[in-house]
Structure 1
Amino acid sequence: MIVGIGSDLCNIDRIQASLDRFGERFIDRVFTAAERAKAEKRPFTRAGTYAKRFAAKEAFSKAVGTGFRQGVFMSDIGVVNLPSGAPTLALTGGAMARLDAITPPGHAIDIHLTMTDDHPFAQAFVILFARSIPERPKL
């Protein structure tokens, strides 16, 4: 069952302006080490790479219903790739606590993420899907 849906549209030029104005301070406050490494390998699409990840963080905060309140911080939400290459989110701190709080008993949450960019916009969608965990047989 779907327990949350979020989307965000981000202006790549706005992210570039933040990178130009605040530099490392902005990057350190918002992005994880893995996200930084990915973006810094892409000098020609650096701002777009950051913008997609920024949009993913915003979309997740909407999917859990808090925005960036109640202990949910951008730095606790990181875009990573599954072995298949599909993007998903790695959560820590308040973001993980909020996801745990909305997870129905007996379920686990699968995070589905899609991102795209076409200058000047980057977009992300997050779907939180609660999957039933089969009970273990009692011995």
Structure 2
Amino acid sequence: MILGIGSDLANIERIAAVLDRHGDRFRNRVFTPTEQRRAEARPPLIAATYAKRWAAKEACSKALGTGLRMGISWRDMAVTNLATGQPVMHVTGWAAARLASMTPPGHEAIIHVTLTDDHPWAQAFVVIEARPVPQPPFQT
């Protein structure tokens, strides 16, 4: 079952301007060290990489049904990538607590995220799904 859906559109040029103006203060407030390493390793695409992750955090907060309020921190949501390049959303802190409270008993929550960019826009969609936890077979 679907627990939440969120989307966001971020302007890459706006994120680039914030990076220029606030630098590490912005990076450290919003992005985890892993997210920063990923973005900084892509010199021609630094701002686009940060913008996609910004959009993903906004979309995730919307899918959690809170937006960025009620105690959710930017760094409570983080995007990493599998070896295939597929983005993966991780939640900690208050975001993880909120996700746990949304998840029905006997289910596990799975966060699906997709990212795209086409200068000057970066976009993210997040879908939170609850899947039944497989029960072990009955033993006699």
TM-score by length of 2: 0.94
Partner residue of 2:131? 131
User: How is 1:12-23 mapped onto 2 (pairs within 5 angstroms)?
Assistant: 12-23=12-23
Partner residue of 2:67? 67
Post-superposition CA distance 1:7-37 (Å, at most 9, x none) = 0000001101110111000000000111100
Partner residue of 2:35? 35
Per the TM alignment, residue 137 of structure 1 is displaced from its structure 2 partner at its CA by: 4.7
Per the TM alignment, residue 83 of structure 1 is displaced from its structure 2 partner at its CA by: 4.7
- The AA in structure 1 aligned to 2:58 is E
Q: Which residues of structure 1 form unaligned runs of 5+?
A: none
Q: Is 74-83 or 33-42 further displaced after alignment?
A: 74-83
Please provide the CA RMSD for this pair.
1.2
**1:56 corresponds to 2:45:** no
Post-superposition CA distance 1:52-85 (Å, at most 9, x none) = 0000000000001101112211111100123543
Provide the aligned length of Structure 1 versus Structure 2: 139
Task: Please state whether the residue corresponding to 1:80 is helix, strand or coil.
Answer: strand
- The AA in structure 1 aligned to 2:67 is G
Partner residue of 2:95? 95
How has the CA–CA distance of structure 1 residues 89 and 133 changed in structure 2, closer, same or farther, with 3 Å as cutoff? same
Partner residue of 1:3? 3
Q: Take 1:81 and 1:108, find their aligned partners in 2: how far apart are those partners?
A: 21
Aligned residues with identical type, % of pairs: 58
- The AA in structure 2 aligned to 1:26 is F
Q: Take 2:112 and 2:71, find their aligned partners in 1: how far apart are those partners?
A: 22
Q: Which residues of structure 2 form unaligned runs of 5+?
A: none
**1:114 corresponds to 2:111:** no
